[in-house]
Chain A
Amino acid sequence: MKPFAYHQPSQIPDAAKLLTSIEDSKLVAGGMTLIPTLKQRLANPPALVDLSKLGNLKGITDDGATITIGAMTPHAVVAASKLVQSKIPGLAVLASMIGDPAVRSRGTIGGSVANNDPAADYPAGVLGLGATIVTSTREIAADKFFLGLFETALEVSEIITAIRFPVPLKAGYAKFKAPASRYALVGVFVAKFADGVRVAVTGAGSGVFRVPPMEAALSGNFDPTAVAAIKIDTDGLTSDIHAEADYRAHLVTVMAKRAVDAALS
């Protein structure tokens, strides 16, 4: 790693000011993506702004029709939360499938969502549940937040403070993981609400996306058989050393069926 200055502000406005004043400075939450990136010298920021000393960014609160998860809440805490397990079990399952125990001790929901890795798990849960990303300056709907490969609607000095999830009637997540990295080769999150069903896919393309034909079919009949015959187009899907686009397209259907199955069980 190249040397960098290290800042540990205790107030969000101070953190935002550092991001604006030091060009190319980076936020660090759990560091599970950033530290490996620094070690490979794929990024050489002059300064890191550590979010760990900011108050009130950790923890999970029950707001009745929604659950709010602080941006610095680690995956292990979400996975083990009785509140999440009872209100959105599919989200607790998703958190328990990220990386390995050591990664889940450190990695945070805010970091994962801000990074928007095309194969990360949380973007599927956030988009699938139609969550709201709460930042230091505004609230952003999930549908307007994820803009493609590692790109989000966040401004340079904008900091995610929490994610607010509406509580669905049912929700489930299924992923086919790449065996070495445990990232999603394809992961599908389904959520059933009173006014319809949302289906979000991660791992298959350059960023998380929804599947309207599956949503329509499941809104009529929330059962794995409803999506069994729906194939998604391979256009825009990823082909790489791990899998060809047509295999990923096939997995989207299979994982969608399993996610519905998980939601019903």
Chain B
Amino acid sequence: MQISFTLNGRPTTVEVEPATLVAELLREQLHLTGTHIGCDTSQCGACVVHLNGLPVKSCTLLAPALDGATLLTIEGLQGAPGSNQMHPMQEAFREHHGLQCGFCTPGMLMTAVALATEKPDLTEADVRHGLEGNICRCTGYQNIVVSVMAGAAAMNAAKGE
């Protein structure tokens, strides 16, 4: 079947089998390998993308659900348009050492951006509860939480400018 959607701001039309997962479509057909497949059972969150602005696990989403939708992947995350800068949340993860091996990081960032967008005045408890669906096997989460708090504050500051 043919599906059309907006991918990181660009109109995209692809031919897919209905039994295609969005994570597979992104990585294998569209060669956007920033979206990672960790567990492939919707537990780990490495594959989180934004569907119509909401965080979803792309390993548990059928490609037909994209038809007519807007999809943002880690490749589409950026700072001020045209600035060639990282997104404030990415910058915060670098600054606060919010990763070690980096495998979970794309999903962490997508979930974190969604959390900060939904609730600008995030508390640490909100962040820990909000990251329940994202598993990191390296860091013990401490620096991830610190990074998300800092990234959310930076997103707020950028909004005020």
Q: Which residue numbers of A lie inside 8 Å of B, CB to CB?
A: 1-6, 8, 28, 31-32, 35-36, 38-39, 48, 50, 52, 76, 99-103, 105-106, 180-182
Contacts and interface: CB of A to CB of B under 8 A. Distances in A.
B26 interface: no
Contacts of A48: 18, 62
Interface residues of B, number: 28
A189 B65 CA distance: 33
B60 interface: yes
A5 B17 CA distance: 9
Interface in B8-32: 17-19, 21
Interface in B105-126: 111, 114-115
Given A39-B60, A102-B42, A181-B43, 10 more contacts: A3-B18, A3-B19, A6-B18, A8-B64, A36-B42, A39-B41, A48-B62, A50-B64, A102-B45, A102-B133
Contacts of A35: 21, 42, 60-62
A36 B55 contact: no
Contact of B18 (A4, A31, A106): A4
B64 A6 contact: yes
Contacts of A39: 21, 40-41, 60
Contacts of A105: 51, 54-56
B1 interface: yes
Contacts of A180: 43
Contact of A106 (B1, B45, B56): B56
A205 to B, nearest CB: 25
B133 A101 contact: yes
A99 B64 CA distance: 23
